[in-house]
Amino acid sequence: MMQSRTHTCAELRIGNVGESVTLSGWLENFRIVSANLGFVVLRDFYGTTQIVVETEEMMKAFKPINKESTITVTGVVRERSSKNPKQATGDIEVVPTSVNVLGRCRYNELPFEINHSREADETLRLKYRYLDLRNPEVKQNIILRCNVIAALRAAMIEHGFLEITTPILTASSPEGARDYLVPARKHPGKFYALPQAPQQFKQLLMTSGFDRYFQIAPCFRDEDARGDRSPGEFYQLDMEMAFATQEDVFAVIEDVLPPVFAKYGTYNRASSAPFMRIPYLEAMEKYGTDKPDLRIDLTVQDVTEVLADCGFGPFATAAAQEEGGEPVPTNVRIKAVVVSGFTGTRKMIDKMLADVEVQAGSKPYWFRVDENGELVGGISKFAAPIKEKVMEALHLQNGDFVALYAGKLTAAQKTAGVLVKTLVAAVPGHMDKEQYSFCWIVDFPMYEIGEESGELEFCHNPFSMPSGGLETLLKVERGEMDALDVTADQYDLVCNGVELSSGAVRNHDPEIMIKAFEMVRLGEDDVKQKFPAMYNAFCYGAPPHAGIAPGVDRMIMLLAGVDTIREIIPFPMNKNAQDIMMGAPSEVTQKQLDELHIAIAVDEKDAAEE
């Protein structure tokens, strides 16, 4: 027995025939057949039940009630003469004796049909999210989210991890994205920051003597939205382990995630341990991305040596000098992707490669092998004279299509990666879609040359331990090794081409930390100033530790099989980081600003645009 109802709208079956019951829910639909016959669909959280109105009195009671009003119905269960096998309660119906309105819908028209809300404009869906969530399909994603989080929590506890919450109000820290700042009323001119991640706190927990930590952690970053990233806040399965290596972290994740994906995913196949481990440089060479989708059987091949001297200008790897001079290398690399079974027309090929050019910003090229084994189309006239070399290098067969790109190494790799995705979408049979394919990307570069600064910068996480520790950094200092060849004990977890997480073995030694930061022109004082708590704590003896933080939102997006992360968040923001349902961000009163010692300076240009 539940308050104001005896059963849910998904509960009644043939065995309940003859019983007097009370149901509560939303009036989903009322189909009037005649003056004294109508059919009501009553919906609650659990499902739907048909109510059959058969008297003039009950017709008068139901007619004034608008759709989506909350009502309670008391009546008698009977067997349906026309059963509905698609409905859990399709064998029965309820003949009402009374109906009461608990919460009246005061509008005759809804912003959208509840059961078709996913077809509505996204702005309307977000504005009326409380109606959108009444759609069983939308609601199911949120239920999935709850079940997955519960399963992750149970698995982590089973592995000996303690769930510990870390602060939401903290200090601003350079983590690679913009902070959300919170003014401190009692400290004029100073600000808290919402944490981009619990990174420093979880490392401090390891230093404090806790052995295994986790939490379903809220993180806040002032970033632009995209399909797999929500602006504002997101959640991650944050974890850290003391006295742990990279392999220890891998072992936990490889034990925790596959059962969850196999149980709750759209696909019932998931990689088993151990996941494939792919060095970063190999991933870029072979897949054209550090987020490879291993369900795809297409890979990238380097054909620079074969095609560099074929006479096609963009493929030339050496710039001609004045007569008598030596050619100068231009660092051009030529990448190729071969796909079998492509029978597209010239128009289709042009459109496909034009799409690649829009995405990559560079023009790709092509040729194909016809049924007679000849190279035809595209740039085939340049490849045909060295046909045997080309056929052997690319292992070509009759009917194969070859897409190519030439440019500097990074651009060539990334454009080839776009070619792979474009070709697999255009040519069926090259993707085993219905599975979850995990891999680890390992051996990331510790440093890179900044695009804007032109100087050495951290490539990813500055808290990562350089592979080889202090000795590696000393080799760089002595000139025995290039800084760009230093790798970090850092790893990414990738599933179906989506980066779920980055993690690392942490740099827990103050001496190694200072040396690592010196490489990017930051001294000991800078480290102390930027990371005072962590630096000081490490000076009191920190254990080696490692961790990772898979994104919960992205995980559930993959499990639900949806294309946008907003589908699996109960109350998401729009692409402009606005909550149009609640009206956030919003203006505040002058009194509130005065209490916080804040004055708003309005940019004249921005004011004019508004």
pLDDT band for 321, please (50, 70, 90 cuts). very low
Distance in angstroms (rounded) separating the CA atoms of residues 418 and 293 = 12
Q: How many helices (H) and strands (E) does the chain have?
A: 19, 24
- Token digits of residue 338: 């071969």
Task: Give the dihedral sign, CA 116/118/121/125.
Answer: positive
pLDDT band for 294, please (50, 70, 90 cuts). very high
Distance in angstroms (rounded) separating the CA atoms of residues 341 and 368 = 11
pLDDT at 460: 80
Closest CA to 254 of 491, 76, 18: 491
Distance in angstroms (rounded) separating the CA atoms of residues 521 and 459 = 14
Residues 442-470, mean pLDDT to the nearest whole number = 90
Please say whether the structural domain 297-426 has been given the CATH code 3.30.1360.30. yes
Residues 231-255, mean pLDDT to the nearest whole number = 96
- Give the strand pairing for 365-369 and 191-193: unpaired
Closest CA to 144 of 501, 551, 579, 558: 558
Q: What share of the chain is helix, strand, coil (3-state, %, to 5)?
A: 35, 25, 40
- Tens-place pLDDT, residues 138-181: 999 999 999 999 999 999 999 999 999 999 999 887 656 789 99
Closest CA to 164 of 568, 547, 557, 559: 547
pLDDT at 344: 85
Domain 14-103 in this protein, CATH class: mainly beta
Distance in angstroms (rounded) separating the CA atoms of residues 44 and 447 = 55
User: Mutual orientation of helices 510-518 and 469-477 as an angle, nearest 10°?
Assistant: 30
pLDDT at 527: 87
Contact assessment for residue 269 and residue 435, using Cβ atoms and an 8 Å cutoff:
yes
Question: CB burial class (10 A; 0-12, 13-18, 19+) of residue 191?
Answer: middle
Distance in angstroms (rounded) separating the CA atoms of residues 522 and 529 = 11
- Token digits of residue 546: 């490692």
Which of 216-220, 334-338, 449-453 has the weakest average pLDDT? 449-453
Domain ranges in the chain are 14-103, 139-280+437-591, 297-426
Q: Which residue has the tokens 């992205």?
A: 554
Cis ω for the linkage preceding 274 (within 30 of 0): yes
DSSP state of 244: -
- Token digits of residue 332: 């051009």
| Residue 13, pLDDT above cutoff 90 | yes
- pTM exceeds 0.75 for this model: yes
Domain spanning 139-280+437-591, CATH architecture: 2-Layer Sandwich (3.30)
pLDDT at 459: 87
Contact assessment for residue 334 and residue 299, using Cβ atoms and an 8 Å cutoff:
no
DSSP state of 48: E
